[in-house]
Amino acid sequence: MRDSRHDILFDPVPIGPVTAPNRFYQVPHCTGMGWRRPRSLAAMRGIKAEGGWGVVSTEYCSIHPTSDNDAHAYCALWDADDIRAHRLTTDAVHEHGALAAVELWAGGGMVVNLGTRLPPLGLRSLPQTDTGEVHPGQARAIDLSDIADLRRWHRDAALRAVEAGFDIVYVYATHGYLLSQFLDPANDRADAYGGRLENRVRIVRELLEDTRAAVAGRAAVACRFSVGLEDAETYDAFGLLADLPDLWDLTVPDYDLEMGNSRFVKENALSPSIARATAMTERPVVAVGRFTSPDTMAQVIRSGAQDLIGAARPSIADPFLPAKIREGRSEDIRECIGCNICYAHDSAGVPIRCTQNPTMGEEWRQGWHPERVAPASAPQRVLVVGSGPAGLEAARVLGEQGHDVLLAEAKRSPGGRVSAESALPGLSEWARVRDWRLSQIDRLANVQIFPESRIIAADIPALGVAHVLVATGSHWAGDGIGRHSAQGFTTDGSLHVTRVGTVLDGGSPGADHVLIYDDDHHYMGPVLALAMRRSGHAVTLVTPAGRACQWGSYTSEQFASNTALVSAGVTVLTNRVLHRIADGAAHLACLYGGEAIRLRCDAVLPVTRRIPDRALFDALAKTDHGLRSLTLIGDAEAPGLIAAAVYSGHRAARGLETLTDPYTPHARREHPV
């Protein structure tokens, strides 16, 4: 039975001429699918509608070829082909009684139109400003004729949106794109669109009025806009527009707060800024906050801070979050961990994926549903060795298929690398990967977990299993071999070399000044540096990259990570390779041929590569134990992201009866409509 405190989340909400069936609103978020993969996009959005999201939105949707971000698969509404492609999504969303929303987008100086090769139209002639990627291009300064064209393009796109079946049409005025460039105090245009605030707001007002006239009551008009307590003028601008749209989709000017990695930003971080604006309008307000707790959601609504619960990442981690709350199954919510792996892969120009939800992006490609797996045609007895992220996910899915599953774990507690990493600074939410899977397994009588059970090849015949999945993980090497060195570093033994595993197991490098050599470039090096500082060590982080946490530019944590290192007193040396330990010092070569550095320290902690732990698999592969299949999964196959390990376990479990060759094409390739 549903908790009565959550009833408020299921109230219908009028939005102009349409009504959202509940308060769960999947705000616009990118997917890496866009116009290139319309079937994948429609299947993914349709799953969310099936899962109970009352409104399901597109990602940013280009109104015209002058807004092209072709390195990424965005949506577009340029012509009749786009209308037909979007119909796949709106039909899939409407099938489950949800509203479909489209975020119309004009890129401005943020993009360089790599695909169309047209000059981008920006507020001024300035270099391209997309913080994720820098290109040697500049925008053409928009003139009054261009503004007239912009209004016409936006109006025409709104008409196409209605024809495509959308119920809510956005005017998108934030995130650094063209409309927010007009709103910026730096807009010193001498015409009616610059200078004083009323002029800078003018283009947003006109587009809201144009869009309302175009959709003519057939759809609601929404506006995505930023307000922030640290910027009083944002509320002045908001006040000039407060009752123009049918719905406000509000966020804050700081994207690192809005899209913050959970290392630095926790649930409901935007609420104070949003609440002030909500009090200024009669229109309903939706806002995000990486909401995962139904108690927090209900409290935010009851407080009047906002009217609908916006979500992007939580809707990716669990498309059925609303349905689970509605059915009184809040404990089954697959909570977002805020790792931003979804965002990272869209930023890389490929379909999003999720650490918690391995079916994300695979709804059409592989036909995977996040809540259902087909029962096994002939249930088997299966052994899964290792209860890290891959092993837990494999055991869970195999159990739901009806197999008799034995899950053997060499240590006392399950979780593998997830348990170890979640104990590090800022990574506590990583534990949700382990805890959710254990909670689901606990309900399956056909899955048994055996802790402190180290399996060797000779044990297999007595277990009577037909299939073995080996998820024995990996360990961090201590030799310095990695991306920038095929030989690693040499050492005369004058410095202690501490392995990452020692620290993850709670050990200490036993030294005062620790040099962390980070050739991994994600979170591990910086997080270990912060952990060492908390333990009282002096820390120098050395990396061959141009910045610490280089890959963190994709996960929106690079800036915050470097800020945290500086604040903690960690010395960071970039563009340096550790090639030798001698005479009690680390010898660091410059990547570009500059002068070498001799740095005295007490211990070296290499964060470079991981070695797969595949001894059991190799032993089993050499001898016929009468197994129907033997599969290596997760980090034991190829060390990578936790998301990759979870996906590996999920795929192996789904394909237990059919996937005999792991390299055989296993999914449909999509071609644009």
Integer angstrom CA distances of residue 26 from 93, 318, 329, 376, 417: 12, 11, 20, 33, 31
Last-in-domain residue among 333, 364, 389: 333
**Same domain assignment for residues 216 and 276:** yes
Decide if pLDDT at 131 tops 80: no
State the pLDDT at residue 127.
87
CB atoms within 10 A of CB 146: 15
Q: Which two tokens stand for residue 185?
A: 């105090």
Domain of residue 390: give its range: 381-473+613-654
Q: State how far the Cα of 3 lies from the Cα of 338, in Å rounded to an integer.
A: 26
Catalytic residue flag (residue 177): yes
Residue 343 in any domain: the answer is no
| pLDDT for the residue 669 | 87
Question: What pLDDT, in 10s, does the model give residues 556-591?
Answer: 999 999 999 999 999 999 999 999 999 999 999 999
Same domain, 439 and 500: no
152 and 101, same domain (yes or no): yes
Q: 466: helix, coil or strand?
A: coil
218 pLDDT above the threshold of 80: yes
CATH number for the domain including 521? 3.50.50.60
* pLDDT surpasses 90 at 133: no
Res 518: pLDDT: 98
Q: Report, as an integer, the average pLDDT of 526-546.
A: 97
Q: Is 641 a domain residue?
A: yes
Cα–Cα distance between 186 and 198 in angstroms, integer?
14
**Distance (Å, whole) CA 236 – CA 474:** 55
- Alpha carbons 426 and 421: distance in angstroms, whole number: 10
Task: Tell me what pLDDT residue 671 has.
Answer: 79
What's the rounded Cα separation, in Å, for the pair 31 and 133? 17
Q: Please indicate, yes or no, whether residues 466 and 500 belong to a single structural domain of this protein.
A: no
Looking at the structure, do residues 424 and 485 belong to the same domain, yes or no? no
Name the residue with tokens 């409290």: 299
Task: Tell me if 666 is assigned to some domain.
Answer: no
Which of 609, 639, 662 is the last residue in one of the domains?
609
In a domain, 385, yes or no: yes
Within a domain: residue 557?
A: yes
Length of the chain: 673
Q: How many domains does the chain have?
A: 3
Asked if residue 568 and residue 591 are part of one domain, the reply reads yes
pLDDT tens digit string along 612-626? 999 999 999 998 888
- How does DSSP classify residue 376? P
Q: What is the CATH number of the domain that holds 147?
A: 3.20.20.70
Residues 464 and 558 in one domain: no
In a domain, 364, yes or no: no
Q: What percent of the chain has pLDDT over 90?
A: 91
Based on its alpha-carbon atoms, the radius of gyration of the chain, rounded to whole angstroms, reads: 26
Which is catalytic among the residues 74, 177, 523, 647?
Answer: 177
Which contacts qualify for 77-84: CB closer than 8 Å, 24 or more apart?
77/102, 77/104, 77/157, 77/160, 77/161, 77/164, 78/157, 79/160, 81/673, 82/35, 82/160, 82/164, 83/160, 83/163, 83/164, 84/673
Rounded-to-integer distance, Cα 313 and Cα 631, Å: 31
Q: What is the mean pLDDT of residues 107-125?
A: 91
pLDDT value for 393: 98
Do 127 and 211 sit in the same domain of this protein? yes
Shared domain for 492 and 626, answered yes or no, is no
Confidence of residue 657 (pLDDT cuts 50, 70, 90): confident
Q: How confident is the model at residue 135 (pLDDT cuts 50, 70, 90)?
A: confident
Asked if the structure places residue 64 within a domain, the reply is yes
Last residue of a domain, one of 580, 609, 638: 609
The answer on 93 and 119 residing in a single domain is yes
pLDDT given for residue 112 in this prediction: 87
Whether 546 and 569 share a structural domain: yes
Q: How many CB atoms neighbour CB 443 within 10 A?
A: 11
Q: What is the pLDDT of residue 667?
A: 80
- pLDDT, mean over the chain: 95
Q: pTM score > 0.85 for this model?
A: yes
Percent with pLDDT over 70 in the chain: 98
Asked if residue 325 has pLDDT above 90, the reply is yes
3-state secondary structure 190-259: CCCCCCCHHHHHHHHHHHHHHHHHHHCCCCEEEEEEECECCEHHHHHHHHHHCCCCCEEEEECCCHHHHC
Residue 296 phi, psi dihedral angles, 5° rounding: -65, -45
663 within some domain: no
Mean pLDDT, to the nearest integer, of 473-485?
96
Q: What is the CATH number of the domain that holds 414?
A: 3.40.50.720
Separation between Cα atoms, residue 586 and residue 517, nearest integer Å: 10
Q: Is 101 exposed, middle or buried (0-12, 13-18, 19+ CB in 10 A)?
A: buried
**Predicted local confidence at residue 660, as pLDDT:** 61
pLDDT level of residue 310 (50, 70, 90 thresholds): very high
What's the mean pLDDT in 630-649? 97
What is the per-residue pLDDT across 227-269, written as a single tens digit (0 to 9) for each?
Answer: 999 999 999 999 999 999 999 999 999 999 999 999 999 999 9
Alpha helices in 377-509 (DSSP H): 389-401, 417-421, 431-441, 460-463, 500-504
Together in a domain, 463 and 553: no
pLDDT beyond 70 at 666: no
